[in-house]
């Protein structure tokens, strides 16, 4: 019996000595070459940041031990360092970037669609390239309303007025029009389905002035009228084919060019 109690006490003593040894072990010191950044609302958890690269290399506790899993049910703020990789889903109120951002997941849809009154603004200081590899669509969007640039199309279809900056608006369903002074590109269309069309040439501004008109559709009989000081037209067609144009020039002096009449619009 005495031997039994002696063994029991020896075992208890060994356990106590082992526990004392573990408790007295020094906590691992923070490694040189790293800084440690606290995370708001996550006490006792630090971010280990490489001082040379500035990148986050580990998540540790206050003693420098790696934390395999960290769960924070509240809000948190991380300041400093660069996150090199995060797997899984993330939710943010504000997400800002001060360097290159790449969104290129394979076989995945990337959606940017704020609801309510939210907007999407893309205003780079440098160039913007939109170059899908598949045929795509752009709907309900004004292009070039503030700052116009060039455009190139295989097919251009209009459903209302088209404004030509070097000339005048395309007129839909009209039967007559007046060409004002100094217009060199004027487009007309629809012309009531090959019906009669009247073109009035406004007063010329001087000898050699040019004006031009195009018809998107086949016209019926065209009547040309003039405004003083012009008095007549010469050689202007009475009908025009679809998608055809005519340019006119005003002659104010008889005989220049040879055999020309004064105050007359000629086909150029």
Buried b (16+ CB within 10 A) or exposed e, 4-32: eeeeeeeeeeeeeeeeeeeeeeeeeeeee
pLDDT digits (tens, 9 = 90+) for 14-38: 444 444 433 343 444 567 888 888 8
Query: Phi and psi for 8 in degrees, rounded to 5?
Result: -65, -45
Of 52, 69, 85, the position where a domain reaches its end is 85
Q: What is the CATH number of the domain that holds 267?
A: 2.60.120
pLDDT digits (tens, 9 = 90+) for 131-142: 888 888 888 888
Q: What mean pLDDT do residues 133-161 have?
A: 79
Q: What is the pLDDT of residue 154?
A: 79
Confidence of residue 69 (pLDDT cuts 50, 70, 90): very low
Q: What is the pLDDT of residue 87?
A: 54
Instruction: List, in sequence order, every residue forming a beta bridge with 226; answer none if it has no partner.
Output: 201
Q: Which residue bears the tokens 């104010």?
A: 252
| C-alpha closest to that of 80 among 49, 43, 42 | 49
Is 228 within a domain?
yes
Q: Is the pLDDT of residue 164 over 80?
A: no
Q: Is the pLDDT of residue 256 over 70?
A: yes
Poorest-confidence range of 39-53, 156-170, 243-257?
156-170
Q: What is the pLDDT of residue 251?
A: 93
Q: What is the pLDDT of residue 25?
A: 38
Q: Is the pLDDT of residue 242 over 90?
A: no
Are 172 and 255 in a shared domain? yes
Is 135 within a domain?
no
Tokens of 230: 């012009």
Q: What is the pLDDT of residue 249?
A: 92
Is 55 within a domain?
yes
Tokens of 131: 């170059």
pLDDT digits (tens, 9 = 90+) for 91-118: 677 777 778 888 888 888 888 888 899 8
Is the pTM value of this prediction over 0.75?
no
CA distance 13 to 8: 9
Is 112 within a domain?
no
Is 239 within a domain?
yes
Of 58, 85, 112, the position where a domain reaches its end is 85
Q: 187 in helix, strand or coil?
A: strand
Domain count, the chain: 2
**For the chain, what is the mean pLDDT?**
75
Is 71 within a domain?
yes
Query: 255: alpha, beta or left, given left = phi > 0 and alpha = psi -120 to 50?
Result: left
Of 35, 66, 85, the position where a domain reaches its end is 85
Q: Is the pLDDT of residue 163 over 60?
A: no
Is 95 within a domain?
no
Structural domain for 173, as ranges: 159-268
Beta strand 210-215 pairing with 186-188: parallel
Confidence of residue 224 (pLDDT cuts 50, 70, 90): very high
Q: 46 in helix, strand or coil?
A: strand
Q: 178 in helix, strand or coil?
A: strand
CA distance 111 to 15: 60
The percentage of the chain sitting over the pLDDT mark of 70, rounded to a whole number, equals 70
Is 148 within a domain?
no
Q: Is the pLDDT of residue 127 over 80?
A: yes
């Amino acid at each position: 019996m005495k031997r039994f109690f002696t063994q029991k006490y020896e075992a208890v003593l060994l356990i106590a000595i082992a526990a004392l040894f573990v408790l007295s072990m020094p906590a691992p010191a923070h490694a040189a070459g790293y800084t440690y950044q606290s995370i708001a609302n996550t006490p006792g958890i630090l971010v280990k940041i490489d001082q040379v690269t500035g990148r986050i290399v580990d998540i540790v506790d206050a003693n420098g031990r790696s934390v395999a899993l960290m769960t924070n049910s509240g809000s948190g703020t991380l300041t400093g360092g660069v996150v090199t990789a995060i797997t899984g889903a993330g939710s943010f109120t504000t997400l800002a970037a001060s360097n290159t951002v790449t969104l290129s997941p394979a076989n995945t849809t990337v959606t940017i669609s704020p609801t309510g009154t939210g907007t999407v603004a893309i205003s780079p200081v440098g160039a913007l390239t939109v170059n899908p590899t598949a045929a795509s669509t752009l709907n309900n969007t004004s292009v070039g309303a503030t700052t116009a640039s060039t455009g190139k199309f295989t097919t251009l279809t209009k459903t209302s007025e088209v404004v030509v900056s070097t000339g005048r608006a395309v007129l839909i369903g009209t039967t007559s029009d007046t060409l004002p002074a100094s217009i060199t590109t004027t487009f007309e269309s629809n012309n009531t389905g090959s019906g009669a069309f009247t073109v009035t040439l406004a007063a010329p501004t001087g000898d050699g002035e040019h004006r031009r008109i195009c018809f998107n559709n086949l016209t019926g009989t065209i009547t040309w009228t003039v405004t003083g000081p012009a008095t007549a037209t010469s050689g202007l067609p009475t009908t025009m084919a679809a998608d055809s144009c005519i340019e006119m020039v005003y002659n104010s002096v008889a005989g220049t060019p040879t055999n020309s009449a004064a105050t007359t619009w000629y086909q150029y």
